[in-house]
Amino acid sequence: MLALAVAAGASWARPPAAGVFCATYPTSPFCVGQQPACTLCHVAPPQRNVFGASLEPHLAPGEPRPLSDGDFAMALPAALHAVEQADADGDGVSNLVELQQGTLPGDPRSIPQTSTCAAGTNPQYDVCHRDAKYTWKKLLLDFCGVSPTWAQVQTFLSLSDAAKQAFLDTELDRCLSTEFWLGKNGQLWRLAHPKVRPIGSLKAGEDEGQIPLADYDDDYALFAYTQIGDHDAREVLTAKYFVQRTTNPTAYSTTPLKASQPMDLAHRSGNMTSAWTLVDFVMFTALPRNAAAQMYRAYLGLDIAKQEGLYAVAGEPRDYDAKGVTQQQCAACHATLDPLSYPFRNYNGIGGGGTAQYLPNRIEQGFSTLAPNITQIPEAGYVLGQPVANLVEWGQVASNSDAFARAVVTDYWKFLMGHPPTSDELPEFNVTWRAFQTSHAFRVQKMLHDLVHTEAYGAP
């Protein structure tokens, strides 16, 4: 059960709040391809941050508390407008400007960035523009793992400006095939660690642990495969195939069958249904909320524990497994989390009728005594507020979403810049993920070419 703290007179992060906010400020960066997290107004619900607290007196003043969701939704736009010119966090920037720039009006550390060109000259760096030599060296370090040599630098400097830009693309393609980038424990694997969450002692296959339960190298392999070449990144969530890795040099290729992966292809949905995901995140659980929350976090960038990505479904949660999630302090998150988890109901973790397999009556056969209504858990559920019939559809809806495209680009942005997009980087970031989703058809390699040509990457 994932719950929120209870406090007397608490005000909850309201399910309609995000939608109403975006209707009020549709062009706010918080609403471009996403919806704001509860932390826009809350420290952790129900505790408001200073911005949330400043809204409260303007929310239907005089009306008895607690407000219904409907009354709250009606009152929120006026309250937001009422505090626009104020500066809740005292950082010198009005609430309205912060909302327009995508910084947090309740956090004084979050302020719009203004990168202005410094006065003076610089013999080594062009600090005002994209600097080709700086970019090239950075690119080689990021993707190849080593700087150019002195001799290579001299050659590079002899190129024309246009040739330098073209050379960057050539070099990027070269680096993307290096062991440093795609090899075992290379940079792509490093990107995958928080998604796969390996545990050495439970590993099967190569580098087998003491209690080999599943081989997570297969998860890394699929992830890496979807990030390279002309492959579709969405297939990390939808693949109906498996990926094998060969070495010297490292290469990834698809295969319809893999001994380490018992899932049948009809029910396979990329890494969501890998043996490792099911063993580690479903384990022995009837309703595998952990698995759903981890997929949501890892591949859509939405952490329900941080009040992100809440799309409350009417009538939820039903509390089929009698965990008490209908309590007010739990329901705010579980109205999203539980329907997100239902499509996992037949995906078995460990033991039972078959480890890491799809078992049509899994709940009925293995968990029927756990709670009176537990067998009523449906296989249909919701992801990002959209109904889905099963986990395969879950993967399709999720991977086609804005959230997925943003999450993929955000992963690389953080990896290459060292931080999530700042307010002054948001325009380039938004262009990048939109292009990744549309013209590049979810090809990471093409997106990376865009990314290394951004000012955010190339200006010292």
50 binds another protein (CB under 8 A): no
Does 249 bind another protein (CB under 8 A)? Our answer is no
φ/ψ of residue 399, rounded to 5: -75, -20
Task: Check binding of 159 to another protein (CB under 8 A).
Answer: no
Gap between the Cα atoms of 60 and 64, Å rounded: 9
Q: Given the DSSP bridges, would you call strands 242-246 and 381-383 parallel, antiparallel or unpaired?
A: unpaired
Q: Applying CB under 8 A, which of residues 198, 309, 317, 381 lies at the interface with another protein? A: 198
Cβ closest to another protein, residue 151 vs residue 259: 151
Q: Residues 28, 99: contact at Cβ < 8 Å?
A: yes
In whole angstroms, the minimum distance from the beta carbon of 248 to another protein comes to: 16
Using H for helix, E for strand and C for coil, what is the string for 270-328?
Answer: CECCCHHHHHHHHCCCCCCHHHHHHHHHHHHCCCHHHCCCCCCCCCCCCCCCCCCCCCH
Return the number of the residue (6 or 163) whose C-beta is nearest another protein: 6
Answer yes or no whether residue 283 interacts with another protein by CB under 8 A.
yes
389 part of the interface to another protein, by CB under 8 A: no
Contact call for residue 366 and another protein (CB under 8 A)? no
Under rule CB under 8 A, residue 148 binds another protein: yes
CB 356 within 8 Å of CB 262: yes
- Minimum CB distance to another protein, residue 203 (Å): 7
Q: Is 147 in the site for another protein (CB under 8 A)?
A: yes
For tokens 């890998």, the residue is 274
Helix (H, G, I), strand (E, B) or coil at 252: strand
Residue closer to another protein by CB (options 25, 189) is 189
d(C-alpha 403, C-alpha 384), whole Å: 9
> Rule CB under 8 A: is residue 265 a binding residue for another protein?
no
Window 120-139: residues binding another protein (CB under 8 A)? 120-125, 127-128, 137-138
Of 54, 101, 329, 399, the one binding another protein by CB under 8 A = 329
Tokens read off for 356: 């890491």
Tell me which of 158, 160, 210, 247 binds another protein, using CB under 8 A: 210
**Distance of alpha carbon 317 from alpha carbon 340, whole angstroms:** 10
Does the protein bind another protein through residue 459 (CB under 8 A)?
Answer: yes
- Based on the shown chain and the rule CB under 8 A, indicate whether residue 90 belongs to the binding site for another protein: no
Residues 341-360 vs another protein: string with x where CB under 8 A? Answer: ---------x----------
Which listed range, 97-105, 145-153, 236-244, 269-277, lies at the site for another protein (CB under 8 A)? 145-153
> Min. distance of Cβ 149 from another protein in angstroms?
7
- Biggest CA pair distance of the chain: 76
Q: Is 400 in the site for another protein (CB under 8 A)?
A: no
- Per CB under 8 A, the segment of 19-27, 198-206, 390-398, 439-447 that binds another protein is 198-206
Contact 51, 66 (CB under 8 A): no
83-88's contacts with Cβ under 8 Å and 24+ in sequence apart are 83/51, 83/54, 83/55, 83/58, 86/54, 88/50, 88/51, 88/53, 88/54
Q: Do residues 152 and 144 lie in contact, with contact meaning Cβ atoms separated by under 8 Å?
A: no
The least distance separating another protein from the CB of residue 364, rounded to whole angstroms, comes to: 17
**Strand runs labelled E in 313-456:** 381-383, 386-388
Calpha distance 19→16 (Å, rounded): 5
Residue with tokens 């008490």: 324
User: Of 146, 142, 220, 152, nearest to 176 (Cα)?
Assistant: 142
Select from 246, 139, 143, 247 the least CA-distant residue to 187: 143
Please select the residue that binds another protein; options are 53, 93, 141, 359, rule is CB under 8 A: 141
9 makes contact with another protein (CB under 8 A):
no
Contact window for another protein (CB under 8 A) among 24-32, 68-76, 142-150, 375-383: 142-150
Q: Whole-angstrom Cα distance, residue 211 to residue 252?
A: 27
Residue with smaller CB distance to another protein, 79 or 221 = 221
Is-contact 383 398, C-beta < 8 A?
yes
| 411-430 binders of another protein (CB under 8 A) | 417-419
Q: Is 190 in the site for another protein (CB under 8 A)?
A: yes
CA atoms within 13 A on the CB side of 210: 1
Residue number with CB closer to another protein (201 or 255): 201
Residue 53 is a binding residue for another protein (CB under 8 A) = no
Residue 373 in the binding site for another protein (CB under 8 A) = no
Is the CB of 248 or the CB of 369 nearer to another protein?
369
Which is closer to another protein, CB of 149 or CB of 160? 149
Site residues, another protein (CB under 8 A): 1-6, 43-44, 109, 115-125, 127-128, 137-138, 141, 145-151, 153, 180, 190, 193-194, 197-203, 207, 209-211, 283-285, 289-290, 293-294, 305, 329, 350, 369-370, 417-419, 459-460
